[in-house]
Every structure is written in structure tokens, then in C-alpha cells.
Structure 1
């Protein structure tokens, strides 16, 4: 391999490394902002806040672990119950609202997991095809 070609390869590798580091920093800052605002930390929320792809978040082991930890340990603050005496109607309305919020959160999380599963299946298929292309067979 020529020295010139190797220099180009090294330059590209360094640029990719820097870009990845910038994405990691943006995602970490996004997580901190979400926590500070008391918002739910999800892959989708971090993606929107940081401007990175969900694929990047799922494939970066440290970011993935941090987001999953935040999801388990830090729940958004519950909605306050309207302060209008002991009216059963207000309590029912507050609980109905909370159930609706939790259902929406559940749907979002299920959609994220389905997307991650689809991605994993795609990566698995691509790896199997590459192995077949290289002549490896599981049998």
C-alpha cells in the first residue's frame, strides 16, 4: 500500500473518530438537559435533543446503557392533582390523564424496541450474507 493511500485512510479514520466523539458529546449533553428539565430520557428524546440517529445511540454501548439506566431510575415528575377540595371528579380526571400519559409513553417505548429489533434483524441478515459471501456455512 502506498504511503499516500495510507495517509488518506488515516485521515478518514481520524475524521470519523472526531465525528463520533462529537455525537457522543451531543448525546451526553442532551441527556443532562432532559434530566434537568425533568423530562423522560428515551432514545427518541435524546435523538431529537442531540440531533443524532437512534441507530448511533443503540450501537454505542455506553450511551445505550446510560439512556436505559435513566429510563429505569428517573421518571418524570407526576402531574399535580388539581387543588379544588376533595372532589372525586378531580381525582378521576387526574388519574385518567396520568393513565393516558403512561399509555403514550408505553407505546413510544414499544415502538423504539421494535425499531431496534428490526435493526438487529437487518444487521444479522447482513452479517449472514457476508459470511456466505466469504464461503462460511453453519452446517
Structure 2
């Protein structure tokens, strides 16, 4: 009985090791894929891409070091951040222009709705007048 238990334990240990190695391989592939696509390297992104849990990534010392390193490299420091004043100005100008267009659109739609309501009212008055005079509306 001891031999069977030892054998089963060895089989389970081998299976657990193979499962862990498969998860590690999947996580490494996920990191490479995220880097290749230029996406942020985070525990959540790697876990989602590889189909592994955050706990697995945190518990693996090598994967954890690699993800933390890549995550820290992706964050630009304020001194290393390029000057974006030109593009910021363009974005602000376009945002203001969009807001103006939205406001004008809202005003035009309100005016059109008011005109439509007035036309419906006039149409209703004319139908009533025709009915009062005895003419059948066509």
C-alpha cells in the first residue's frame, strides 16, 4: 500500500509541475505578445492574456520580477516625458470646437422641433376649420 501511495504522490507531483510549467510558458508568451503589441505590462494584462491567475504571477518570483520591471519601464518619468504642448494645444482646440458644434446642433434641433410643433398645431387648426365648414379632408 505504501508503494501505491508513493507512486500516486509522484504522479501528482509530476502533473503539478507540468501544469505550473505550462502556466509559466503561457505567461512568458503573453508578456512577449503584449510587448510586441505595445500594450502596458501589468499583472492583470498578463494574467488575462495568458489565462492564469494573478496569484500565480505574484507567487512566481521570476515572472513577478519581470512583470514589475517591464511595468516600471513603461511609465515615463516627468523629466523623460516629451514636450507635448503642441499636441495638447491641438487637442484642446479640437475639443472646444466639438463643444461649440454640439451646442449649435442642440440649438438647431430645438428650433426645428419648435417649428415642427407649430406646423402640427397649424395643421390641426386647419383640419378643424375644414371639418367645421363641412368640407371633408382628403
Q: Same fold (TM over 0.5)?
A: yes
Q: Indicate the TM-score class for this superposition, using the shorter chain for normalisation.
A: 0.5 to 0.7
TM-score normalized with structure 2 length: 0.56
Question: Larger C-alpha radius of gyration, 1 or 2?
Answer: 2
Runs of 4+ in structure 1 off by over 3 angstroms are: 91-94
Q: Which residue does 2:67 correspond to in 1?
A: 67
Question: 5+ residue gaps in structure 2?
Answer: 96-138
Deviations 1:8-32 (A, max 9, x none): 0000000000000000000000000
CA separation in 1, counterparts of 2:56 and 2:90? 45
Which structure carries more helix by proportion? 2
Question: 5+ residue gaps in structure 1?
Answer: 95-139
Cα distance change, pair 10–55 in 1 and its aligned pair in 2 (3 A): same
Q: Which residue does 2:44 correspond to in 1?
A: 44
1:93 shift after superposition: 6.9
Asked whether the equivalents of residues 26 and 50 of structure 1 are also in contact (C-alpha less than 8 Å), the reply is: yes
CA separation in 1, counterparts of 2:60 and 2:70? 15
1:90 shift after superposition: 2.0
Asked whether the equivalents of residues 40 and 75 of structure 1 are also in contact (C-alpha less than 8 Å), the reply is: no
Aligned length: 88
Q: Which residue does 1:22 correspond to in 2?
A: 22
Query: Could you say which structure has the greater relative contact order, defined with CA pairs below 8 angstroms and 6 or more residues apart?
Result: 1
